[in-house]
Amino acid sequence: MERTLVLLKPDAVQRRLSGSILTRFEQKGLKIVGMKLVQASPELAAKHYDVHKERPFFGSLVSFLSGGPTVALALEGREAVATVRGMIGATDGTKASPGTIRGDHGLSVQNNLIHGSDSVDNAHLELALWFCPNELVSWTPVDQSWIG
Ligand code: IDP
Ligand code: MG
């Protein structure tokens, strides 16, 4: 079982899409093991996007992610990292396939609603950045054996 970090970025919260996006993950069979509303500081946003610090859009990206509330989710399931990335779609909303979250809800590159960790190693680092260990809950859904 893998765990991955998902952020419903401030545009998703502002546009009242948090619930419908979360429903997709629940219906897929992914298990919520952490969930909270966070007002990210610019420091937290900059750490989260540290890999992009040399990019010309970095300042704008940090302002965006710290510009309103974000829903932070820890999701668990078989191949959770790749599964979530597939459900999210391509970075640019105009390139994201219909049926993906970005493909169904936006045209923007920056304001693309959602983040998902891109590797198991990054998922570990990002989960530690957004959640304290005691905020992650290990539990067994009653239908687990039917889900895989
Ligand atoms: P990803 O979220 O699909 O993994 P990354 O390339 O890792 O995409 O970029 C991180 C975030 O930076 C994107 O989700 C998006 O919000 C923003 N971003 C990426 N490329 C651009 C750009 O060219 N202009 C503005 N923002 C961008
Ligand atoms: Mg990325």
CATH number, domain at 91?
3.30.70.141
Answering whether pTM is above 0.95, one says yes
Would residue 95 count as lying in a domain? yes
CA of 110 to the centre of ligand 1 (A): 6
- Give per-residue pLDDT as tens, 74-100: 999 999 999 999 999 999 999 999 999
- pLDDT, residue 148, reads 78
CA neighbor of 134 nearest in space, from 2, 11, 33: 33
- pLDDT, residue 52, reads 98
Range of the domain at 58: 2-133
Q: Are 80 and 118 in contact (CB under 8 A)?
A: no
Would residue 140 count as lying in a domain? no
Is the distance from the beta carbon of residue 81 to the nearest atom of ligand 1 less than 6 Å? no
Is the distance from the beta carbon of residue 114 to the nearest atom of ligand 1 less than 6 Å? no
Would residue 82 count as lying in a domain? yes
**Ligand number with the minimum distance to the CA of 61:** 1
> 112 Cβ partners below 8 Å, 6+ apart?
9, 11, 91, 92, 93, 96, 102, 106
Q: In the predicted model, what is the mean pLDDT of residues 115-135? A: 98
Q: Structural domain tally of the chain? A: 1
CA of 56 to the centre of ligand 1 (A): 11
Is the distance from the beta carbon of residue 44 to the nearest atom of ligand 1 less than 6 Å? no
Q: Are 65 and 9 in contact (CB under 8 A)?
A: yes
Question: Any idea which residues carry the catalytic annotation?
Answer: 115
Nearest protein CA to atom 6 of ligand 1, as residue: 91
Q: Are 73 and 5 in contact (CB under 8 A)?
A: yes
Would residue 107 count as lying in a domain? yes
Would residue 147 count as lying in a domain? no
Would residue 96 count as lying in a domain? yes
